[in-house]
């Protein structure tokens, strides 16, 4: 379904079969329709909107703008789309707040890139100064639409969509519904198609709950880190809790790295590289620091405490089981937390209690030592009560021996 140039890159990257969201949205996007695309995290949404948008821009001209909530996501998206853009002869640029503004402006003027991946602050900055013109934008993609309101005001997003030409397409992609996706037609004054493939997407991710009090969480996490094929991310609700626990956990022999909002760009790149290469197998992170990161082969996602929102749990769990691989999500807490978690995720995920069984987790509750001792005693009693098998004595039936009473005929 893709152009020859794009298909060649897909073959090189061994992506021969499109995912469900890619297959269902391609024709509509390529033909210029505005669309809301909903799919589970880690199922190929970036290529679902990126490839048909770039092919369309290559055909009709103009610019495609992809709006990402964070700097890391914007750079990651640019890197993912770069080989396909080059194959189509399109230039790309990432406009982020963390970058040098002057250099970004120079590149915009000199290179005139057709594909712009930007964070909200820098995009609205350049639009307000007319460095990027509304009439040049033929496609606007708002990625992570379920989280974008944390980084951009609703009225700014609305004005952005309404200032585009009537022929420009607007694409909203996310893992869950939000105010933006539900009210898209009123906000942007466009007609939208809805493509929701979440009910059809099979998941190989198991959702477990490990009962543990705060004082024993360190020991439990050390045991988790020793499980077979462990490569995990431990999520915290705040940087403060993350750093406090990291100081405690540093006394253990388990090797780990800390990814927080305070991590410098250089250190961040190094530890992510080490984690991807498998030199580090345990990563501590906050939601903001790890948002949208595509980290391959993560086998475990662990919640240090219960997430406050379903959306937070959904995005965390999306770090494992990507592209239909297997994975495990483990939440730590007490019995009260287990009840709250089940209420929070009712109708979304099936949560099971889990227990350690050697170097793996099981849903079968292990027998207590008292029960095992009682069972052993009962087993011994049963063994004793069984009648012992007596050997039959061999007797010669022909010669029964002399019996005085019988020989006299006495009774």
- Per-residue pLDDT tens for 215-258? 999 999 999 999 988 999 999 999 999 999 999 999 988 889 99
Inside any domain, residue 380: no
List the beta bridge partners of residue 391.
none
Look at the chain and report how many structural domains it folds into.
2
Distance CA 356, CA 212 (A): 12
Of residues 322 and 400, the one with the higher pLDDT is 322
239 shares a domain with 120: no
82-86, 98-102, 264-268, 397-401: range with lowest mean pLDDT:
397-401
Which of 175, 197, 219 is the last residue in one of the domains?
197
Other Cβ atoms closer than 10 A to 120: 21
Q: Residues 217, 149: one domain? A: no
Burial (CB count within 10 angstroms: exposed 0-12, middle 13-18, buried 19+), residue 286: buried
Domain limits for position 186? 4-197
- pLDDT score recorded for residue 409: 54
**Residue 295 pLDDT grade (very low, low, confident, very high; cuts 50, 70, 90):** confident
Q: CATH number, domain at 55?
A: 3.40.50.300
Q: Which helix (H) or strand (E) holds 170?
A: strand 169-174
Answer whether residue 378 is part of any domain: no
Distance CA 69, CA 117 (A): 10
H/E element holding 156? helix 154-162
Query: Does 293 map to a domain?
Result: yes
Does 231 fall in a domain? yes
How confident is the model over 125-168, as pLDDT tens digits? 999 999 999 999 999 999 999 888 878 889 999 999 999 998 99
**Judgement on whether residues 250 and 211 belong to the same structural domain of the protein:** yes
Rg (CA), the chain: 32
Of 4-8, 9-13, 169-173, 380-384, which range is least confident? 380-384
How distant, in Å, are the alpha carbons of 230, 236, 331, 334 from that of 227? 6, 21, 16, 22
Phi-psi region of 357 (alpha: psi -120 to 50; beta: other; left: phi over 0): beta
Taking all residues of the chain, what is their mean pLDDT, rounded to a whole number?
88
What is the rounded average pLDDT of the residues 366-388?
A: 61
């Amino acid at each position: 379904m893709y152009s020859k140039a794009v298909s060649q890159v897909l073959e090189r990257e061994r992506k021969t079969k499109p995912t469900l969201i890619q297959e269902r949205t391609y024709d509509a996007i390529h033909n210029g329709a505005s669309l809301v695309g909903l799919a589970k995290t880690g199922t190929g949404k970036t290529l679902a909107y990126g490839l048909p948008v770039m092919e369309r821009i290559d055909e009709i001209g103009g610019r495609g703008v992809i709006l990402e909530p964070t700097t890391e996501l914007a750079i990651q998206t640019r890197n993912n789309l770069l080989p396909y853009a080059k194959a189509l002869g399109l230039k790309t640029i990432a406009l982020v707040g963390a970058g040098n503004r002057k250099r970004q402006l120079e590149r915009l003027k000199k290179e005139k890139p057709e594909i712009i991946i930007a964070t909200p602050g820098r995009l609205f900055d350049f639009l307000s100064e007319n460095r990027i013109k509304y009439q040049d934008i033929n496609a606007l993609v708002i990625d992570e639409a379920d989280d974008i309101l944390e980084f951009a005001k609703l009225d700014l997003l609305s004005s952005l969509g309404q200032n585009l030409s009537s022929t420009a397409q607007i694409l909203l992609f996310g893992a869950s519904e939000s105010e933006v996706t539900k009210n898209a037609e009123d906000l942007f004054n466009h007609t939208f198609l809805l493509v929701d493939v979440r009910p059809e997407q099979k998941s190989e991710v198991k959702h477990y709950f490990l009962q543990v009090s705060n004082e024993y969480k360190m020991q439990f996490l050390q045991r988790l880190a020793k499980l077979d094929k462990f490569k995990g991310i431990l999520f915290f609700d705040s940087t403060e809790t993350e750093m406090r626990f990291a100081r405690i956990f540093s006394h253990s022999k388990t090797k780990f790295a800390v990814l927080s909002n305070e991590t410098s760009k250089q250190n961040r790149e190094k530890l992510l590289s080490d984690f991807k290469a498998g030199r580090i197998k345990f990563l501590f992170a906050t939601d903001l620091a790890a948002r949208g990161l595509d980290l391959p082969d993560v086998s475990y996602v662990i919640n240090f405490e219960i997430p406050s929102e379903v959306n937070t749990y959904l995005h965390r769990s999306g770090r494992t089981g990507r592209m239909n691989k297997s994975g495990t999500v483990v939440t730590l807490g007490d019995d009260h937390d287990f009840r709250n978690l089940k209420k929070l995720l009712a109708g979304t995920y099936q949560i099971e209690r889990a227990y350690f069984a050697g170097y793996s987790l099981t849903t079968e509750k292990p027998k207590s030592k008292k029960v095992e001792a009682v069972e052993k005693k009962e087993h011994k009693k049963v063994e004793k009560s069984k009648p012992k098998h007596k050997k039959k004595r061999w007797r010669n039936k022909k010669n029964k021996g002399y019996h005085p009473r019988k020989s006299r005929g006495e009774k």
